[in-house]
Copies of this chain bind each other. A is one copy, B any other.
Amino acid sequence: MEESVARQNTGSMPYLVATSQVLGVAALAITGTWLSHYRGGFSWEGAEQFNVHPLCMVLGMVFLCGDALLVYRVFRNETKRATKILHGALHVMALVISLVGIIAVFQFHKNKNIPDMYSMHSWLGIVTFSIYILQWILGFILFFVPGVAFAYKSRFKPLHAFLGLCLLVIAIATCLLGLTEKLLFAIPEQYPHLPAEGVLINVLGLLLVAFGMVIGYILTREEWRRPLLPEERALSIDFRTLTEGGSPTEP
């Protein structure tokens, strides 16, 4: 009974979700403004092809992935099927946009004869994206393809959720590394005197960290988990396993 009340009490969650969106949109707006105003804007050819990379990665691997993680908390009263489709749809967009961003930087390097994959940013980025693809494939097979045994789903679910949050956090760290690299390449002489561009990027870094922290807080509050709807409880043959040893939620 207590658990039921606790689960329905979302308390400050709506405000925190709103805060995460303000932070995320602000981060995107600053990324776009920075690349347009200081770095020559966007193009699929020439020097500006690089600029597609940061914008796509912040949009895909941070903002959209972050929002995909929130779906089950925010749309807690919708059907499992609907929330699952929205979660998947956001991750399709995140995957496609990130892929465009990655292709942009590799093509840019190739055209400019710049070596690939030597920095910590690139190593961490490629590891994160590879695990993201793996998480995508496993998640799709287990949670979208019909006929998978309930036991497998419920066993993999906590790991899937943990990995999702990890990937978001590491993607943010990778963005910070990329931004630092870019400033040290682009304005090495000016950066120590903290020009407007430097301040903008440092603020962007703090915004990205704050976005990750707020989402992390929402996702780790046990009592804000999406409760099982009455019809799901009726369908579930083993929902005690699904809720990881906790008691079932009262309707």
Contact = CB atoms under 8 A, between A and B. Distances in A.
Interface string A162-187: 10001001101100110111011100
A191 interface: yes
Contact of A184 (B176, B181, B192, B216): B181
Copies of this chain, complex-wide, total: 2
Interface stretch (A43-51, A83-91, A119-127, A146-154): A119-127
Interface string A206-241: 100100010011001111000000000000000010
A77 interface: no
Given A120-B176, A201-B120, A245 B115 contact: no
A151 B136 CA distance: 43
Nearest to A115: B192
A179 B120 CA distance: 9
B3 A245 contact: yes
B193 A123 contact: no
Given A181-B180, A191-B119, A205-B120, A162 B217 contact: yes
B180 A121 contact: yes
Contacts of A120: 176, 179-180, 183, 201-202, 205
A181 B184 CA distance: 8
Please classify how large the interface on chain A is, using the bins under 10, 10 to 19, 20 to 34, 35 or more. Answer: 35 or more
Contact of A223 (B114, B166, B244): B244
A188 to B, nearest CB: 8
Nearest to A6: B245
Interface in A2-34: 2-3, 5-6
Instruction: Return the 7 tightest CB-CB contacts between A and B, nearest first.
Output: A6-B245, A173-B173, A120-B205, A115-B192, A118-B194, A123-B202, A184-B184
Given A3-B246, A123-B205, 7 more contacts: A115-B194, A124-B176, A127-B206, A166-B216, A169-B169, A173-B209, A220-B220
16 contacts: A115-B194, A118-B193, A118-B194, A119-B191, A119-B202, A124-B176, A124-B205, A124-B209, A162-B217, A166-B216, A170-B213, A176-B176, A177-B177, A222-B246, A223-B244, A247-B247
